[in-house]
Amino acid sequence: MSLLRSIAFRLRKYPKTKRMLKNIYQKTGYLFSDKKTEPKTIRCISSDNKEHMFGYYDKSPWDASGTKMIYMQVNGADKFAASSEPANIILKDLTKNKEKIIAQTRSWNVQQGCMLQWLGPDFKNQIIYNDFQNGNYCSIIHNIATRERRVLPMPVYSVSSDGRTALTLDFARLNTFRPGYGYCNLVNSSAKDKCADATCIWHIDIDKGDIKPLFTYKSLFNFQTRPDMKGAFHKVNHIMVNPSGDRFMFLHRWILGGVKYDRLITADMDGGNPYILLDEDMVSHCNWKNDKMVITWARTHEDGNHYYILKDKTTEKKVLVCDKLVVDGHPSYSPDCKYIITDTYPSFKRKQSLFLIEVDSLKTVKIAEVYANPKYKNENRCDLHPRWKRDSSEICFDGAQGKYRQVYSLKLEDVIEKND
């Protein structure tokens, strides 16, 4: 464990002190930074006169043809962790280099946006995103060809690749306990209830619009209860459906005395056969490689902080051995499973890195260093959240190297040629 991570770990019970020292560290690093971004082949997709973002790393902004991209145009992403102010949804025609506003949302946050994504199975004509209408959170299915819209009675968090099923969670509670990931339109009615006997994960039938509760905070508490869960505040985050849509994973998190604990749980899409995949105090960002294998950054008692490869419904875990990957990031496999892309948080000199790992050889190369504007910090930080084009040829990421955060892309052939 590095000195900085050791200090952060020791200060986990004192979040205000930790944040103050972190801000001092970042401001000092800004003075020493050259404020440059490399390589020069990085391309800004969005127009640079306003703030733009896409969202999380488990979704692709490209349509199936690779000729269109979707993202958001927002205001105040350096000031608010979540906002009810309208944000525009942009469709970019890459063949004509033209942006077009096609919709608006009033429920979004700075880390995951409004869960904007192309809807399967064709990822061509329809998009889905979250909104706030008539006093309630909802999700909108928007046909970009016909302009027809259909409203679902709840927001979505993760959508199956066939476009028929979604899972969701309590965005109001998440906004209370994890700013930057929930929505702020409604007051969290369970804020004072540490372990509410209320639904925390729902199943949505997209075709019928039917809603089914799967788990409550109480049921998760009662599932292989740990002593440190008692008296703790409980929440759920980071739901991800596997490629075939038959199982999903999520993080059950609780906070006791200022200390955060995590465990990674998988389950069938109807909530059956839950399995604790990892339960050693800290699990961070995850992603599916295929229907059985998961990559995650975590800390285990035996091996410490690493990327791990896990096999669903088993105790198998393997350290992804690489000296260059020593910090947490947002990992994902390319659609052809030949590569892994991940990122880092800003370094002392305000640089965020992109790392590309060749799966077979584990050859790891830093393919980009992106300057991070210091006005985007704490909950309002601009994580790169790298995500893949559907043919594995290009990487998209959010970045704040200039005055505003923007959406960028980097072609794989450019960085592979450079590093061969």
Range of the domain at 354: 33-419
Mean pLDDT of 239-257: 97
Domain CATH for 314: 2.130.10.10
pLDDT in tens, 384-393: 999 999 999 9
Asked, for residue 2, whether it belongs to a domain, the answer is no
Q: Is residue 320 a part of any domain in this protein?
A: yes
pLDDT band at 49 (very low <50, low <70, confident <90, very high): confident
Choose among 113, 57, 118, 123: nearest CA to 88.
Answer: 113
Q: Report whether 363 contacts 357 (CB < 8 A).
A: yes
21 pLDDT higher than 90: no
In a domain, 374, yes or no: yes
Q: Using H for helix, E for strand and C for coil, what is the string for the chain?
A: CCHHHHHHHHCCCCHHHHHHHHHHHHHHHHHHCCCCCECCCCEECCCCCCEEECCCCCCCCECCCCCEEEEEEECCCCCCCEECCCEEEEEEECCCCEEEEEEEECCEECCCECCCEECCCCCCCEEEEEEEECCEEEEEEEECCCCCEEEECCCCCEECCCCCEEEEECHHHHHHHCCCCCCCCCCCCCCCCCCCCCEEEEEEECCCCCEEEEEEHHHHHHCCCCHHHCCCEEEEEEEEECCCCCEEEEEEEEEECCEEEEEEEEEECCCCCCEEEEEEEEEEEEEECCCCEEEEEEEECCCEEEEEEEECCCCCEEECCCCCCCCCCCCEECCCCCEEEEECCCCCCCEEEEEEEECCCCCEEEEEEEECCCCCCHHHCCCCCCEECCCCCEEEEEECCCCCCEEEEEEHHHHHHHHC
Average pLDDT over residues 338-356: 95
Q: What is the pLDDT of residues 140-194, one digit of tens each?
A: 999 999 999 999 999 999 999 999 999 999 999 999 999 999 999 999 988 889 9
Distance between CA atoms of 288 and 294, rounded to whole angstroms? 5
pLDDT digits (tens, 9 = 90+) for 280-299: 999 999 999 999 999 999 99
Q: Is residue 173 part of a domain?
A: yes
Q: What is the dihedral of CA 122, 126, 132, 137, to 10 degrees?
A: -30
What is the separation, in whole angstroms, between the first and last Cα of the chain?
A: 31
pTM for the predicted model, two decimal places: 0.92
Residue 407: both structure tokens together: 């959406």
Structure tokens given for 31: 């003075």
> In the prediction, which pLDDT does 48 show?
82
Which of 349, 385, 369, 248 is closest to 30 using CA atoms? Answer: 349
Residue 165: what pLDDT?
A: 98
Residue appearing with tokens 């409203």: 151
> For position 321, what pLDDT does the model report?
81
User: Tell me, what's the pLDDT at 8?
Assistant: 58
Alpha-carbon distance of 48 to 68, in angstroms, equals 18
23 within a domain of the structure (yes/no): no
Q: What is the predicted pLDDT for the residue at 6?
A: 59
The answer to whether residue 322 sits within a structural domain is yes
Q: Is residue 27 part of a domain?
A: no
Predicted confidence at residue 15, as pLDDT, reads 66
Mean pLDDT of the chain: 93
> Does residue 10 belong to any structural domain of this protein?
no
Closest CA to 233 of 206, 213, 253: 253
Give the chain's domain count: 1
What span, in angstroms and rounded, lies between the C-alpha atoms of 77 and 377? Answer: 10
Where does the pLDDT of residue 19 fall: very low under 50, low under 70, confident under 90, or very high at 90 and above?
low
In this structure, how many other beta carbons lie within 10 angstroms of the beta carbon of residue 123?
18
Share of the chain above pLDDT 70, in %: 92
- pLDDT of residue 37 exceeding 60, the answer is yes
1 pLDDT more than 50: no
Whether residue 2 is predicted with pLDDT greater than 60 in this model: the reply is no
pLDDT tens readout for residues 52-82 = 999 999 999 999 999 999 999 999 999 999 9
Q: How confident is the model at residue 322 (pLDDT cuts 50, 70, 90)?
A: confident
| Phi-psi map region of 124: left, alpha, beta (phi>0 left; psi -120 to 50 alpha) | alpha
Confidence check: pLDDT of 3 > 60:
no
pLDDT in tens, 80-139: 999 999 999 999 999 999 999 999 999 999 999 999 999 999 999 999 999 999 999 999
Cα distance between residue 164 and residue 119, in whole Å: 9
